[in-house]
Chains A and B, each alone.
Chain A
Amino acid sequence: MNLRTTISNANSDVRQRRRSAVKHAVSKSLRRHWQLYLLVLPPVVYFIIFKYVPMANAVLAFKDYNVIKGIWGSPWVGTKYFEMLFRNPAFATLIKNTLYISFYQLIVGFPVPILLALALNEIKSARFKKTVQMVTYAPYFISTVVMVSIIMLFLSPRLGIVNTIAGALGFEAVNFLGEPGLFRSIYVFSDVWQSMGYSAVIYLAALSGIDPSLYEAARVDGASRFQKIVNVDLPGILPAAVIILILSVGNIMAVGFEKIYLLQNPLNLSASEIISTYVYKMGLLNANYSFATAVGLFNSLINLILLLTVNAAAKRLSNTSLW
């Protein structure tokens, strides 16, 4: 037996002993902490049933759903429903509307909370600052149904306050929700109104965590308030901003079904029909399960790819990532 085999034998011996020690520790921990495993059982069952079984159920997209035979007994049809989707003349509009609304929302909705937080951070009067914060935070608690009805009441062509004021100033009444061209702006800006205060909290927290000596240094160097924001505040909140940007890009295809569905009417449908509302109508209202599943699956995949891409890009560019 030469030296090399002896060493490798000894090595494998050590490895084996370590492995058995780990195994021993694991079984000991299992025995000691069986109650913890019992505790996580119900939540794990929840995740399996309501999250993972639906993922498996998504094979429905490749089958002709038959209610009697069930998901697994239904016949395979390959990519029939995906081809159906890609050939559907409505498909281009759906994608266009979904992307248009999400990017619009991203471009307006992402910077506004940052600007709000930066502005609040400059305010010296604690009372004014607190008032603005509390008031802008409040609309976040209004439910989607109520939010949409507020939008409808305000923008109503006959009775809405917006048209009343416009009328008093000599403008003609506009049927805001009947104009496809206005739909996106209404959606995006009402969203900003509702959520800017809530979203600003993260940035305010990041700002309060900036090292005070950086501000002193900036002051000694004679920086103006604006220069201080650009050179100290912005770099300070960059990591938080990147994470939030990644998360929002990861949600690009998942624009708020609830609000858009409620805001839809036959007049604005050409701009307001998005993938998720289409899935709901096709699947649950028209009982076209397989087709709707295919559309939904396509949507989820695009979403996942976007999230992974942006996360990887952010990791390379700024060293910040979700994991």
Chain B
Amino acid sequence: MSELQSHPSRLVDKRKHTIRESFGDRVFMTVTYIILTVVLIAVLYPLIYILSSSLSSPAAVSSGKVWLWPVDITLAGYKAVLQNDQVITGYANSLFYTACGTLISVALTIMIAYPLSKKTFVGRSPLMMFITFTMLFSGGLIPTYLVVKSMGLIDTRWALLIPNAIWVWQVIIARTFFQNSIPEELSEAADIDGCSDIRFIFSVILPLAKPIVAVLSLMYAVGQWNAYFDALIYLKSQSLYPLQLILRSILILNNGTGNIDAGEMVKMQQMAELMKFSLIVMASLPVLVIYPFVQRYFVQGMLIGSVKG
């Protein structure tokens, strides 16, 4: 990250800072600052608006009084969300899928990525082609569905953990990491000492691989937390639904908030609107809270992945 921040031309600028920038350059910089400020506001404003709305009173949200800061601050929206059983079940399910799915995915990814990184591993390049080909071509939705069905995974929790467990891109990222940051000499030395491969992985590779394990875990966890399509096609029982599927029924299909009393219609509707904002915040909270801490790992992951190997 810090490498990204420091710009090479600043070294030059420091030495020659007595020379004034030309008029054209100053205009250029002013325009750049203005554009970036506009971009900043355009991205930030919707986020602030959602947060403010979720904290405002139902009436204020519905009548359009909220435009930047919360109006008549209340936690009513959050209260309503927390009283919704569907949401709570979905939240619990998503936590389960995220934890288990990440564990399975990271384990499988490292199991194939580490051997692929070893030059002495016979059959390394055919294996690499074997897995990259699946990035280029796929059987399609229905043939995959039929496989999952024939294995009896439909409407079970496994359907969300297994069929999409390994992402080829993550394997490439992990393989590149092992290749670049674990010296070949280590495994040669272990070989000579008669250390078995499994033991070598547990006592040498894994402790050294902490950064890549962090990167893989984060990417798989965010993917699993945000996934809804597998649940949509493979699950039937509502009790197994992850949060995203519950969100879909409440936020997009507009059902699931339940019994509406005719007399309370307007109030209920206002409440339903407010709940949507609170729900959006709550559903994104786990990822957004850890985001500032994990951002550099994500950047690291993307950079490792982009190195051609």
Spell out A's residues near B (CB within 8 Å). Answer: 26, 29-30, 32-33, 35-37, 39-40, 42-44, 46-47, 49-58, 60, 71, 116, 119-124, 126, 128-132, 134-139, 141-146, 148-150, 152-154, 159, 161, 164-165, 193, 196-198, 201-202, 204-205, 208, 210-212, 215-216, 219, 224-226, 228, 240, 243, 250, 257-258, 262, 276, 279-280, 283-284, 289, 292-293, 296-297, 299-300, 303-304, 307
Contacts and interface: CB of A to CB of B under 8 A. Distances in A.
Contacts of A144: 226, 228, 244
B28 A226 contact: yes
A54 to B, nearest CB: 3
Contact of A283 (B142, B162, B244): B142
Contacts of A152: 251-252
Nearest to A220: B12
A128 B33 CA distance: 9
Interface string B27-41: 011001101100110
Contacts of A280: 141, 233
A127 to B, nearest CB: 10
Nearest to B227: A143
A26 B122 contact: yes
Contact of B33 (A123, A146, A228, A262): A123
Given A50-B144, A240-B306, 5 more contacts: A35-B196, A42-B108, A44-B127, A258-B228, A296-B142
A293 B280 contact: no
Interface in B89-132: 108-109, 111-112, 114-116, 118, 120-122, 127, 130-131
Contacts of B284: 141-143, 146
16 contacts: A33-B121, A39-B115, A42-B108, A43-B166, A51-B138, A57-B142, A57-B146, A141-B291, A146-B280, A150-B50, A154-B46, A161-B67, A201-B4, A201-B299, A208-B3, A292-B140
A225 B163 contact: no
B139 A164 contact: no
Interface string B137-174: 11111111111100100000000001111100000000
B4 A60 contact: no
Interface string B207-237: 0000000000000001001111100010000
Given A150-B280, A193-B42, A225-B29, A50 B163 contact: yes
A149 to B, nearest CB: 4
Interface string B186-208: 00000100001110010000000
Interface residues of B, number: 101
Contacts of A134: 292, 295
A205 B151 CA distance: 44
Which of A131, A141, A165, A300 has most B Cβ within 10 Å? A141
Nearest to B269: A159
B40 A258 contact: no
Contacts of B116: 40
Contacts of B42: 193
Contact of B228 (A145, A212, A219): A145
Which of A26, A142, A243 has most B Cβ within 10 Å? A142
Nearest 6 A/B pairs, CB to CB: A54-B139, A296-B140, A57-B143, A143-B226, A149-B251, A212-B8
A57 B139 contact: yes
Contact of B140 (A37, A208, A297): A297
A71 B146 contact: yes
A36 B228 contact: no
Contact of B142 (A164, A202, A293): A293
Contacts of B227: 143
B251 A224 contact: no
Given A135-B44, A143-B228, A121 B7 contact: yes
B12 A219 contact: yes
Contacts of B28: 122, 224-226
Interface string B289-309: 001100100110011001000
Nearest to A39: B111
B124 to A, nearest CB: 10
A141 B287 contact: yes
